[in-house]
Amino acid sequence: MNNKKLGFLIVTHGKMGQELLNVASYIMGQKLDGFQAVEVPFMGEITDSAILDSQTPFQERREWLRRQIADAIDRVDSGAGVVILTDIIGGTSFNVASELLRQGQGVIISGVNLPMLLKAAYLKTLSLEGAAKELVERSRKAIDRRSPQNGDPVAGE
């Protein structure tokens, strides 16, 4: 029997990733096993003197973040791979995660949102690519526009 399941890592600026995970856990009625969030700290919130006193504080923060992401990957990867969900493509979270993943180890998806996390809870046994495809599609379907003043129906009508 194969007990290997996908791991999910949420890497975002500030506390957004952890808060999304908290809300998803609340909605699901349980802690989401195999999920972890990593915070990309804002420079103004860093208290680590090794980073602040450095001649290159942005590079030090990036190295610190690399270690945090690498450790989190190790914690959630049971051997089936890791899906890394980031807030914005081209941002620090996305770029650092991209540097860390080895080929076949995982996939990175930008634009993390609550519907994506709720769907991810049910995809742990899929392949990396299968899960990635499902998550992107779920997120696309969760985005909508309503303009009741223009005759568009209000949600629920």
127-139 confidence digits (pLDDT tens): 999 999 999 999 9
Domain interval for residue 130: 9-136
Residue by residue, DSSP assigns 58-75 as HHHHHHHHHHHHHHHHHH
pLDDT of res. 152: 65
> In this structure, is residue 148 part of a structural domain?
no
> In this structure, is residue 155 part of a structural domain?
no
- CATH number for position 35: 3.40.50.510
pLDDT of res. 144: 86
Residues near 106 by Cβ (< 8 Å), separated by ≥ 6?
73, 77, 81, 82, 83, 84, 128
> In this structure, is residue 88 part of a structural domain?
yes
Q: How many domains does the chain have?
A: 1
Of the ranges 39-43, 46-50, 90-94, 153-157, the best mean pLDDT one:
90-94
pLDDT digits (tens, 9 = 90+) for 100-120: 887 768 999 999 999 999 999
* DSSP structural state of residue 149: G
Are the CB atoms for 85 and 9 separated by under 8 Å? yes
> In this structure, is residue 3 part of a structural domain?
no
State the pTM of this model.
0.85
Question: What are the Cα distances from residue 118, in Å, to 45, 70, 115?
Answer: 30, 24, 5
Residue corresponding to tokens 């890592």: 9
pLDDT of res. 154: 62
Position 22: which residue type? N
Q: What is the dihedral of CA 141, 27, 23, 147, to 10 degrees?
A: 40
> In this structure, is residue 143 part of a structural domain?
no
* Token digits of residue 85: 């969900």
Q: Does residue 153 surpass a pLDDT of 60?
A: yes
> In this structure, is residue 75 part of a structural domain?
yes
Report the distance separating Cα 100 and Cα 102, nearest Å.
Answer: 6
pLDDT digits (tens, 9 = 90+) for 28-83: 999 999 999 999 876 566 666 555 566 666 777 788 889 999 999 999 999 999 99
> In this structure, is residue 108 part of a structural domain?
yes
Query: Residue 10: exposed, middle, or buried by beta-carbon count in 10 A (0-12, 13-18, 19+)?
Result: buried
